Amino acid sequence: MNAADIKEKAFVEIKKIESTSQLEEARIRYLGRDGLVNQLFAEIPELPREEDRKKAGIYLNEIKLEIEEALAQRDRQLKKLSAKELEKVPFDITASGIQITGGLGSIHPLTQLRQFVLDTFSDLGFEEVSAPHIETDDYNFGLLNVSADHPARDLWDTLYLEDGRLLRTHTSNMQVREMKKRLSAQAGKPPIRVMTFDRCFRYENLDPQHSHTFTQFEILYVDHHVSMANLRFLSDYFLKRFFGEKTKTRFRPKYYPFVEPGVGVDALGPNGWIEIAGAGLVHPQVLRNGGIDPNQYSGLAWGFGPDRMLMAKLGIDDIRSFYEGDLRFLKQF
């Protein structure tokens, strides 16, 4: 069968197609890897003259495009016909709805934790704030003392937009924003006590321990004489309320570019110490970037991942369970 015959046969067959499954079968038959058009492409090298081979390639490509367009056009026609058929189906507005069994539902565990956390720190004088999910490089990295060559700026860790902005990688992008905003509203004088509980985004493959979308909670406290003692009190106050009064905690030196010194906050669990939070005293340069004189004021930042916090407390081994909407999981709470 020559190219012209294949084209004519395809057009006739496509016009008679009545379903998307038949459409896919036709696509494979004519344009698939072993389809009729590709069989003709395979014969081109056997042509004796280079000019003939070139013309044959151009001609077959034209036929391939015409068949693709015929398939696409028939697909659009079938979708229109399907929509019209649906309009004819009678809908009984008096019919009973689907009955939901098992009570009236429950609050998602992350939402429960959110309310507990916000209530706890609200009682200590912290105010909830928010910051953009789509952020500039400055507020997400530069103003937080993250150097230009820091690994966190790498394309493999951060989701960048075409215009140079990015999806924020942490809730710390609120820090300098809140300093500037509140200094303007308060005639340039702290204290600043703010907290945020919100989503963050990173270039991560989905697995039981990692997700491209996750939540973080963070507090920022700036005032005269804020010290590690304040940080230790706030950390222990929350963790003992959450895990229980007998919970043992410890501070461990850890590097974060926007705090100095920085600490990892661990809690003692049944299987040993586990890292719960990250914290530290706000780096002097970050304070300056927010318009605050580090010679007069100091600050602290403390934050954790609510997903991992719940996993540790409830014995959940897969972070994806919080976001999949599986009722078998959610009904437990």
What type of residue sits at position 328? R
Nearest Cα residue to 170 out of 214, 234, 106: 214
Q: What is the DSSP string of 2-41?
A: -HHHHHHHHHHHHHH--SHHHHHHHHHHHHSTTSHHHHHH
For residues 286 and 317, what is the distance between their CA atoms, to the nearest angstrom?
A: 36
For every residue of 109-161, DSSP letters joined together read HHHHHHHHHHHHHHTTT-EE----SEE-HHHHTGGGT--TT-GGGSTTTS-B-
Calpha distance 200→310 (Å, rounded): 17
Residues annotated as catalytic (active site), given as ranges: 156, 170, 202, 216, 259, 301
d(CA 55, CA 61): 10
User: Per residue in 39-55, pLDDT tens?
Assistant: 888 888 888 888 888 88
- Express each pLDDT in 131-186 by its tens digit: 999 999 999 999 999 888 877 676 558 889 999 899 999 999 999 999 998 887 66
pLDDT at position 228? 97
- The response to whether 25 counts as a known ligand-binding position is no
Query: Is 161:134 a contact under the CB 8 Å cutoff?
Result: yes
Closest CA to 238 of 217, 256, 258: 217
Residue 74 reports pLDDT greater than 70:
yes
Helix/strand number for the chain, H first, E second: 11, 9
How far is Cα of residue 238 from the mean position of the Cα atoms in its chain? 27
The full set of domain ranges for the chain reads 3-88, 109-330
Fold annotation for 109-330: BirA Bifunctional Protein; domain 2 (3.30.930)
> For the chain, how are helix, strand and coil distributed in percent, rounded to 5?
45, 20, 35
Long-range contact set of residues 106-112: C-beta below 8 Å, sequence gap at least 24: 106/330, 106/331, 106/333, 107/333, 108/322, 108/330, 108/333, 109/310, 109/314, 109/322, 109/330, 109/333, 110/215, 110/306, 110/307, 110/310, 110/322, 112/333
Higher pLDDT, 228 or 65: 228
Over residues 99-132, the pLDDT tens digits come to 666 666 778 899 999 999 999 999 999 999 999 9
Token couple for 329: 């999981």
Beta carbons within 8 Å of 75's beta carbon, 6+ residues apart: 20, 23
Query: pTM above the 0.75 mark?
Result: no
